[in-house]
Amino acid sequence: MLDIHNLSKNFGALKVSQDISISVEAGQCHALIGPNGAGKTTLIHQISGVLRPDTGRIALDGHDISHLSVSARVQAGLSRTFQITSVLPSFSVLENTAIAAQAKSGTSMHFFKDASREKRLNETAQDTLARVGLADRAHVQAAELSHGELRLLEIAIALAAKPKFLLLDEPMAGLGRSESAALVTLLADLRRSLPMLLVEHDMDAIFQLADVVYVLVDGRIVAQGSPDEVRADPAARAAYLGDSIG
């Protein structure tokens, strides 16, 4: 579903992505880990279209999206969440989700006006909120949500665009233990029908969810494999995991 081939990106003399190749098949969750400053979010920006790579190719469901804009990639089926939660705080949970559905469908195109009053968009938004466990919070203003609920809303916004593939940039950031466990359960359910690439520091979540783990250091993948293989890899331990991971 997602095929990244020999992706490279430099900022002057700084090499932030060095010949990165990742291939995620349908029904899979792949995870990207590494220390701060390794280039993880920069890579996600390249996949989502925020940044253009210097070299390499990105394909989604067999179609080259390397030169598409962010919005065109969304239309092609690529959705993402952000490291810092990005919602419209003065809008309700339902309105935030309906706006995302509206942007995908192209109906009326008045993105900040009465999206949740359009029946089809409203139904899509309600179904999506039910899927992430926020149905009973639909009419609450986003600003009133807890941090964990905001994370769920951001996933709902991504799902409302009816993606073929989901990019998740540190969805567990700032969550408590019980909130993280609930989100892992949700993502485990979603991955059955929606392939995803997960960037995360929560190693428990990574080892529960990922089929393949990539260890990124200084813009370069230094180890990859199943969670057990990466856990035992000396390069991965030296670069990121440490001796505390048994």
| CATH classification of the domain holding 69 | 3.40.50.300
- Per-residue pLDDT, 128: 95
Q: Does 246 lie in the same domain as 170?
A: yes
Q: Does 17 lie in the same domain as 73?
A: yes
Residues 6+ apart with CB under 8 A from 46: 7, 9, 17, 52, 53, 58
- Per-residue pLDDT, 142: 95
Q: Does 238 lie in the same domain as 223?
A: yes
The per-residue pLDDT for range 166-210, each reduced to its tens digit, is 999 999 988 988 999 999 999 999 998 999 999 998 989 998 999
Please give the tally of structural domains in the chain: 2
- Per-residue pLDDT, 103: 72
**pTM (two decimals):** 0.87
- Per-residue pLDDT, 235: 83
Domain boundary among 160, 194, 216: 160
Residue 73: strand, helix, or coil: helix
Q: Does 153 lie in the same domain as 39?
A: no
CB atoms within 10 A of CB 239: 20
- Per-residue pLDDT, 242: 62
Q: Extract the residue ranges of the chain whose pLDDT is less than 70.
A: 83-85, 104-118, 241-246
Asked if 121 and 101 touch (Cβ cutoff 8 Å), the reply is yes
Enclosing domain of residue 184: 1-77+163-246
- Sign of the CA dihedral with 101 first, then 162, 130, and 197 last: negative
- Per-residue pLDDT, 243: 45
- Per-residue pLDDT, 238: 83
Pairing relationship of beta strands 165-169 and 78-80 according to DSSP bridges:
parallel
Q: Does 219 lie in the same domain as 192?
A: yes
Token pair, residue 8, equals 């490279």
Domain boundary among 127, 160, 193: 160
Q: Does 168 lie in the same domain as 51?
A: yes
Q: Does 243 lie in the same domain as 170?
A: yes
Q: Does 68 lie in the same domain as 90?
A: no
Q: Does 171 lie in the same domain as 145?
A: no
